Amino acid sequence: MTIGTYSWEEYVRLVTSFHGSVEPGLMIGGLIVDLALKSLPEGERFDAICETLVCLPDAVQLLTPCTIGNGRLTIMDFGKFAATLYEKTSGEGTRVFLDTDSLGDRPEINAWYFKLAPAGERDQDLLLRRIRDAGHSILGTQRVRVNPAGLRREKAGASAVCPECGESYPARHGTRCRGCAGGSPFLK
Amino acid sequence: MTIGTYSWEEYVRLVTSFHGSVEPGLMIGGLIVDLALKSLPEGERFDAICETLVCLPDAVQLLTPCTIGNGRLTIMDFGKFAATLYEKTSGEGTRVFLDTDSLGDRPEINAWYFKLAPAGERDQDLLLRRIRDAGHSILGTQRVRVNPAGLRREKAGASAVCPECGESYPARHGTRCRGCAGGSPFLK
């Protein structure tokens, strides 16, 4: 079992260093991204979509050139364990998802995904072994098409100085920066 | 000049491998995170906020244990080059920002930040040298306090099966999954 260009063990080390711990979601995420990568025509330039905030975005960032900071990874908070790699211009791509219908005979993975037992009670080593054994068999794939222009990050454009905090911000956000307009996480 | 535990050159290699290229924003981002890390009391357990989607989140993910996928990095789309590291329980922290008032005698950095010339016309090597020379001198810091509970990711909770696509999704999202409720990026 390999994950992208890594052996399973190498990927475990990479995940531990980046994410802080080896979570089942990162390992299934690795399988998802691995299968999506294998579905790409060779040399294709692609961007990524991830349908959950949890774990999976880190697998995409570690295994593809798509990151949050370079704008090539779009995260949608749908709570679904699914990722899509799509060609940058045509928008044609492959969506790979955790196929929960396949978990009937995978009790440990099923119990983890559907939170059937408290996290503290689960045998994490056994669960990770089961994920490795399952490999791509617990995943489904679909051909999809997106509108790449609709997913591209808006350009920041011209700057303005916020009359309240005095900091520079994108003028297109309005007459004040979004922090001063009520979005600030900082307590007074 | 060091960035976190890396030499400047090591950080350049790390950024190139993760983000795909060495962007000025990643280098200033590295300086911002480095200064925020140095402001932390030793051994403090912290989470991160980033006030832009562009470049800076990758510096946070590379230099701290806070990533998108592990829920310890909150990104706010304010278009501001600022990051905050805050203690997980008290919410006390330090916000470090690019101090645009300091750029008056840093013409190359000023021209990059305010997009005074097309990217194709700039001398990228000179700009990166200027950023290295400037170091922390172009940054400002503030003590801040946040409400950590308000920034924590909501638990996924119980799952439901979407009556339209048949996939599992967080029941708290409503009677359909967010994709089928109109959020889907996929064309029919």
**Residue with token string 């700057």:** A159
In this predicted structure, what is the pLDDT of residue B41?
A: 87
- Same domain? For A144 and A159 the reply is no
Q: Does ipTM surpass 0.90 in this model?
A: yes
- Tell me which residue in A69, A77, A168 faces B100 most closely, judged by beta carbons: A168
Question: What's the rounded mean pLDDT across residues B125-139?
Answer: 97
In whole angstroms, what is the distance from residue B157 CA to residue B165 CA? 20
How far apart are alpha carbons B91 and B88 in whole angstroms? 6
H/E run at residue B31:
helix B24-38
Residues B94 and B107 in one domain: yes
**Does pLDDT of A118 surpass 90?**
no
Chain B CB contacts of A80 under 8 Å are 167-169, 177, 179
- Which CATH number goes with the domain that contains B102? 3.30.1330.130
Whether residues A185 and A113 share a domain: the answer is no
Q: How far is B148 from chain A (nearest CA, A)?
A: 9
Are B14 and B71 in the same domain?
yes
Report the pLDDT averaged over residues A22-38: 97
**Residues B84 and B13 occupy one common structural domain:** yes
Residue A30 clears pLDDT 90, i.e. is over it: yes
Asked whether the beta carbons of residue A156 and residue B91 sit closer than 8 angstroms, the reply is no
Q: What is the mean pLDDT of the segment spanning A14-43?
A: 94
Q: What is the torsional sign of CA A146, A150, A155, A161?
A: negative
Question: What is the rounded CA–CA span in Å between residue B136 and residue B2?
Answer: 11
Q: CA of B55: how far to CAs of A69, A113, B139, in Å?
A: 4, 32, 16
Range of the domain at A33: 2-151
Compute the Cα dihedral for B75, B77, B83, B87 and give only its sign: negative
Q: What is the pTM of this model?
A: 0.95
Q: Is B174 on the interface with A (CB under 8 A)?
A: no
Q: What is the CATH number of the domain that holds A163?
A: 3.30.60.80
Q: Pairing mode, if any, of strands A159-161 and A6-7?
A: unpaired
CA distance A151 to A146: 8
Place of tokens 């749908």: A78
Same domain, B38 and B122: yes
